[in-house]
């Protein structure tokens, strides 16, 4: 009997022995005086019961001195303790033997009592098994199942027909669970399922005794069960032990094949002594027992032969199989008269070892990995395989695959099993395998699996792999270069290897290698070299990178690649650079492309001369660049104007004339030569016009183009009378030119001259219409002149009215204004002065400072003849009295009238002598003198204006008068003018002088 803590054995000498699972004796006592037939252990492993041929049942406490001995006077073959024997006060156990009775022994209120549960007249009780609340036992009639809660038998499973005597082949019982019982009879295995049924179904006929107090509480809740055989199958061996492991039967078999054949044939087993002796004689030649595993589909899964000591002399009843369920794993023990064999489930380690010994590495490795993932039948044993053993098996499998010339699968196995922790052992393992693949010329298989993060190998390994792939698989080489950090290998060495290989590679591989070079140069921080390959590969966004990272120095010598990048972006072909119908639109698109704009916008970083030097052998792209430069700033391309003329003539002749007009940096002679070579007549005409050879240009238009409107337009642009004479002389015998001159000549030619130059015998088609148009134009001119005269007359009338109003307006004088001659305030009259004189030029003087004494005296006499003239001869007091008298005699209106009339008379008198402003007169004198000097020196008009007269600043600031003589009126001081116009011109329009009364 086995428990989860120890083993219990009964010996032939009546001893009960306690052993550990290693076979060491722990405890031993003598319980019987004869052979021990059966032992039993409670669920708590505290009590052990034994039954022997001495007729006694002994229950021995392992941890106390409690011993119960019950003597039944007849040999007891089987005993079973209540699983909860140590917990219940009833202390029940069931026993049976040669008496054919099953007795329930228990403690009650009145003491111990035995209850006969079952009685059979067919033979002894062979075995008893107690599980939960159910007890099963076997006798010659079959298997009985008893419910300890209801204290009644549930069902009886009859012994199969034709089975041999039970004393020769004992029945084997095993409870799989509380509702399943597995029964083994000789060569027959039955699975009995216990199912519930209703209370109304027929019960056992035998009356049941009143339930004891220990079962009284559980009876109501215990279901009524019935037995049903769910599985039954026959074997070709004798069942010596029976158990269930997971979903399979574990059967200990005895190999008496002849007896089994007789049983299957229906002969049974002979019963007389002679035949028994024959059976014993056969047993000496029996096969060793086997431990078989049979699944629920009644198929044998495995079989292990047990060469036990003395097996040829042993009978089936001499063997036993005990199940032990521990916390770690299930185990079983095979019992024979001389040996005790421990049986444990084959673990993952055993399984893997067995597979490895047979070279089945694939299955071994798969089972280990399934167990690591907690999958498969070996998941519970995953701790049995350590990492080192897993790696060893995997590497052995990889070696086997390499020997089979299967490096691809070997590489996958290495990737799975080789360690990846950063240790020297892991590094050595990986490097050894990489070199192994190198020897097998299969580095391309292991390359994707080589560790690059965490665990890093020596740089030699990575460089060796790259060198191998560079010559064998360029695509794989590219993937590794892009995936591996450059810290793993020497990037410079790889770059040199690529550059050495790139010329030998095919075109697709060359593109791939350029991608690798671009990446490596970027990682080496060499943008000048990386941009070369990026531009050759037309990498998207590379020009944006140049702008964002300010890499203009890197593209200084890559102008051609930049412009080719534009062509690729626009979808243009280099062969489309010639002149055709779409040349202008194509040129515009190419100039507006990102690359061209990049070169022209950054001429300080990418000099124009450098770009032109690079593109000199690529005239198509050079033309695009120079045109974009001209569009950006015409002065930037000045040094290359002659070259640009040739490029326009070659690729875009329709734009050459525009370039000739806007540029002034090209050579006329060279441009004329280029145009003559290509027959570009309009451009030749323009160049000749710029050179001043108008006659030759006109002849080209007439002779080559024969375009009359163009010839006339050219003559109009040049505005050269001799050119018009040449045109008239040339056109005199050419009717189309005659008609053109009459119709288009306009005012530049005299129609009469053209008509008179026509020969008399020449017929001019269209001359009538042309003359009609000339006459019509003449009438229009006459009418236009008449209308213009009417308009001018109206304007003169308006201006005259404005002048008249202006002359009758007064002039405002501020209170502090000075006389420009004497530099005293106008209010402070010098002696003999009667007022101030204001000229229309804006200059104001005292009358005494500018008028001749005779004129001044006459004006004073005029004042004396007036009603108030006598006031000049009176004293101040007399004048004051006279004014008061006039105020008393005359009304205010009459007084104002007299004063106004006196002023008007004096002003008219002064105007008769046409006095001149001294300041303006001095300016006119200086201006006339400067003009005479400039004419004698031959100066141009602008120089004359610069030297003549006073400047506006001088005229404004001039204020210091010269010493003016009041006696003769000569030598007046110059004063700043208020206007740029000469005083003499103002005198012709306005009255020269106006008197002011201060």
pLDDT exceeds cutoff 80 at 438: yes
pLDDT exceeds cutoff 50 at 622: yes
The residue among 950 and 238 whose pLDDT is bigger is 238
Question: Can you give the pLDDT at residue 726?
Answer: 67
pLDDT exceeds cutoff 60 at 243: yes
What pLDDT digit, counting tens, does each position of 124-163 carry? Answer: 999 999 999 999 999 988 899 999 988 888 888 888 887 7
pLDDT exceeds cutoff 90 at 701: no
Least confident of 58-72, 375-389, 438-452: 375-389
Question: Can you give the pLDDT at residue 993?
Answer: 46
Percent of the chain residues topping a pLDDT of 70: 77
Helix (H, G, I), strand (E, B) or coil at 796: helix
Helix (H) or strand (E) holding 156: strand 152-158
Least confident of 206-220, 447-461, 462-476: 206-220
Question: Can you give the pLDDT at residue 992?
Answer: 45
Question: Can you give the pLDDT at residue 901?
Answer: 74
Percent of the chain residues topping a pLDDT of 90: 33
CA–CA gap between residue 23 and residue 346 (Å, rounded): 20
Question: Can you give the pLDDT at residue 819?
Answer: 86
What pLDDT digit, counting tens, does each position of 571-601 carry? Answer: 887 555 555 557 788 888 999 999 999 999 9
With CA atoms as reference, report the closest residue to 148 among 205, 191, 208: 208
pLDDT exceeds cutoff 90 at 972: no
The residue among 886 and 103 whose pLDDT is bigger is 103
3-state secondary structure 262-325: HHHHCCCCCCCHHHHHHHHHHHCCCEEEEEEEEECCCCEEEEEECCCCCHHHCCHHHCEEEEEE
Mean pLDDT of the chain: 80
Q: Length of the chain in residues, anyone? A: 998
For tokens 């252990």, name the residue. 41
What pLDDT digit, counting tens, does each position of 181-221 carry? Answer: 999 988 899 999 998 876 444 444 444 444 444 444 444 44
Q: Which of 215-229, 582-596, 690-704 has the highest mean pLDDT?
A: 582-596
Least confident of 462-466, 736-740, 829-833: 736-740
Q: How far is CA 990 from CA 526, 803, 903, 984, 994, in A?
A: 86, 8, 19, 10, 10
For the four alpha carbons of 506, 510, 516 and 520, in that order, the dihedral sign comes to: positive
Question: Can you give the pLDDT at residue 202?
Answer: 43
pLDDT exceeds cutoff 80 at 291: yes
Which phi and psi angles does 411 have, rounded to 5°? -65, -40
CA–CA gap between residue 78 and residue 99 (Å, rounded): 11
Chain-centre distance of CA 663, in angstroms? 48
Q: Which residues contact 11 (CB under 8 A, 6 or more apart)?
A: 17, 35, 36
pLDDT exceeds cutoff 70 at 957: no
The residue among 824 and 443 whose pLDDT is bigger is 443
Q: What is the largest CA-CA distance in the chain?
A: 206
Span 522-535, average pLDDT:
92
Work out the number of other CB atoms within 10 angstroms of the CB of residue 45: 15
Whole-model pTM above 0.85?
no
What pLDDT digit, counting tens, does each position of 555-570 carry? Answer: 999 999 999 999 999 9
Span 93-107, average pLDDT:
92
DSSP state for residue 704 in the 8-state scheme: I
Least confident of 324-333, 507-516, 641-650, 819-828: 324-333
Record the tokens describing residue 451, joined without a space: 């560790």
Question: Can you give the pLDDT at residue 754?
Answer: 66
Which phi and psi angles does 811 have, rounded to 5°? -125, 125
Question: Can you give the pLDDT at residue 54?
Answer: 93
Question: Can you give the pLDDT at residue 743?
Answer: 65
Count Cβ neighbours within 10 Å for each residue of 526-561 and write b for 16 or more, e otherwise.
ebebbbbbbbbbebeebbebbeeeebbebbbebbbb
The residue among 739 and 443 whose pLDDT is bigger is 443
The H-assigned helical ranges of 679-766 are 681-691, 694-700, 708-718, 721-731, 735-744, 751-756
Question: Can you give the pLDDT at residue 860?
Answer: 60
Question: Can you give the pLDDT at residue 877?
Answer: 66
The residue among 280 and 370 whose pLDDT is bigger is 370
């Amino acid at each position: 009997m086995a428990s989860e803590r120890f083993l219990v054995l009964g010996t032939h000498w009546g001893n009960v022995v306690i052993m550990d699972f290693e076979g060491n004796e722990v405890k031993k006592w003598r319980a019987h005086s004869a052979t021990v037939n059966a032992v039993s252990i409670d669920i708590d492993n505290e009590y052990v019961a034994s039954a022997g041929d001495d007729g006694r049942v002994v229950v021995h406490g392992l941890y106390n001195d409690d011993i119960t001995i019950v003597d039944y006077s007849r040999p007891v073959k089987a005993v079973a303790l209540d699983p909860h024997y140590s917990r219940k006060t009833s202390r029940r156990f069931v026993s049976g033997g040669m008496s054919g009775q099953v007795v329930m022994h228990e403690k009650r209120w009145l003491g111990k009592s035995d209850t006969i549960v079952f009685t059979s007249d067919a033979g002894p009780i062979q075995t008893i098994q107690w599980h939960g609340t159910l007890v099963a036992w076997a006798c010659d009639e079959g298997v009985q199942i008893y419910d300890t809660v209801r204290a009644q038998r549930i069902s009886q499973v009859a012994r199969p027909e034709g089975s041999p005597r039970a004393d020769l082949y004992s029945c084997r019982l095993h409870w799989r669970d509380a509702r399943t019982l597995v029964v083994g009879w000789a060569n027959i295995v039955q699975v009995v399922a216990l199912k519930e049924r209703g209370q109304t179904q027929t019960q056992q006929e035998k009356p049941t005794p009143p339930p004891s107090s220990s079962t009284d509480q559980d009876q109501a809740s215990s279901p009524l069960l019935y037995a049903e055989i769910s599985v039954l199958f026959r074997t070709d061996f004798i069942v010596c032990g029976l158990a269930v492991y997971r979903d399979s039967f574990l059967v200990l078999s005895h190999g008496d094949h002849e007896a089994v054949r007789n049983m299957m044939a229906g002969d049974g087993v002979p019963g007389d002594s002679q035949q028994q002796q024959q059976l014993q004689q056969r047993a000496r030649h029996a096969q060793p027992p086997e431990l078989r595993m049979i699944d629920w589909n009644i198929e044998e899964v495995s079989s292990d032969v047990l060469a036990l000591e003395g097996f040829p002399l042993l009978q089936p009843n001499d063997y036993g199989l005990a199940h032990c369920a521990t916390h770690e794993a299930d185990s079983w023990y095979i019992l024979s008269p001389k040996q005790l064999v421990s049986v444990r489930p084959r673990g993952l380690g055993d399984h893997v070892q067995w597979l490895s010994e047979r070279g089945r590495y694939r299955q071994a490795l798969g089972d280990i990995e399934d167990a690591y993932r907690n999958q498969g039948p070996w998941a519970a044993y995953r701790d049995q395989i350590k990492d080192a053993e897993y790696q060893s098996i995997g590497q052995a499998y990889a070696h086997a695959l390499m020997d089979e010339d299967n490096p691809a699968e070997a590489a996958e196995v290495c990737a799975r099993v080789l360690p990846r922790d950063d240790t020297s052992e892991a590094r050595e393992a990986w490097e050894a395998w990489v070199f192994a693949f190198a020897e097998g010329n299969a580095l391309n298989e292991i390359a994707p699996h080589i560790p690059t993060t965490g665990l890093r190998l020596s740089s030699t390994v990575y460089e060796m792999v790259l060198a191998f792939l560079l010559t064998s698989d360029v695509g794989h080489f590219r993937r590794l270069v892009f995936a591996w950090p450059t810290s793993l290998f020497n990037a410079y060495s790889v770059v040199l290897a690529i550059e050495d290989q790139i010329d030998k590679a095919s075109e697709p591989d060359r593109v791939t290698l350029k991608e690798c070079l671009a990446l490596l140069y970027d990682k080496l921080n060499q943008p000048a070299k990386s941009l070369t390959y990026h531009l050759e590969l037309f990498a998207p966004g590379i020009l944006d990178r140049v702008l964002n990272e300010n890499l203009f120095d890197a593209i200084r010598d890559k102008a051609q690649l930049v412009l080719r990048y534009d062509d690729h972006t626009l979808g243009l072909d280099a062969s489309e650079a010639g002149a055709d119908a779409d040349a202008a639109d194509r040129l515009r698109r190419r100039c507006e492309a990102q690359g061209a704009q990049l070169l022209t916008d950054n001429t300080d970083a990418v000099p124009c001369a450098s770009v032109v030097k690079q593109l000199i052998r690529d005239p198509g792209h050079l033309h695009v660049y120079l045109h974009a430069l001209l569009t950006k700033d015409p002065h930037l391309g000045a040094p290359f104007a002659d070259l640009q003329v040739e490029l326009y003539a070659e690729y875009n002749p329709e734009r050459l004339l525009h370039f000739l007009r806007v540029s002034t940096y090209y050579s006329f002679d060279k441009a004329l030569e280029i145009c003559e070579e290509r027959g570009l007549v309009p451009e030749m005409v323009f160049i000749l016009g710029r050179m001043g050879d108008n006659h030759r240009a006109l002849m080209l238009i007439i002779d080559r183009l024969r375009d009359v409107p163009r010839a006339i337009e050219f003559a109009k642009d040049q505005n050269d009378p001799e050119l018009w004479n040449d045109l008239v002389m040339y056109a005199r015998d050419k009717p189309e030119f005659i008609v053109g001159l009459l119709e288009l000549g306009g005012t530049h030619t005299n129609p009469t001259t053209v008509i008179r130059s026509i020969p008399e015998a020449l017929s001019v088609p269209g001359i009538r219409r042309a003359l009609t148009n000339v006459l019509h134009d003449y009438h229009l001119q006459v009418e236009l002149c008449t209308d213009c005269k009417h308009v001018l007359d109206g304007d003169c009338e308006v201006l005259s009215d404005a002048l008249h109003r202006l002359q009758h307006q007064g002039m405002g004088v501020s209170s502090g204004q000075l006389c420009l001659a004497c530099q005293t305030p106008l209010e402070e009259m010098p002696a003999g002065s009667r007022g101030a004189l204001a000229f229309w030029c804006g200059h104001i003087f005292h009358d005494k400072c500018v008028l001749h004494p005779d004129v001044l005296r006459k004006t004073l006499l005029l004042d004396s003849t007036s009603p108030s003239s006598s006031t000049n001869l009176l004293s101040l007091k007399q004048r004051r009295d006279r004014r008061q008298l006039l105020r008393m005699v005359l009304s205010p209106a009459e007084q104002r009238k007299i004063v106004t009339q006196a002023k008007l008379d004096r002003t008219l008198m002064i105007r008769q002598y046409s006095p001149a402003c001294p300041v303006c007169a001095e300016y006119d004198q200086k201006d006339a003198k400067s003009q005479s000097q400039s004419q004698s020196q031959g100066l141009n008009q602008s120089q004359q204006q610069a030297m003549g007269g006073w400047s506006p600043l001088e005229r404004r600031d001039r204020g210091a008068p010269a010493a003016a003589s009041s006696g003769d009126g000569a030598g007046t001081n110059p004063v700043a003018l208020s206007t740029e116009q000469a005083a003499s011109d103002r005198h012709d329009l306005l009255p020269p002088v106006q008197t002011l009364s201060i």
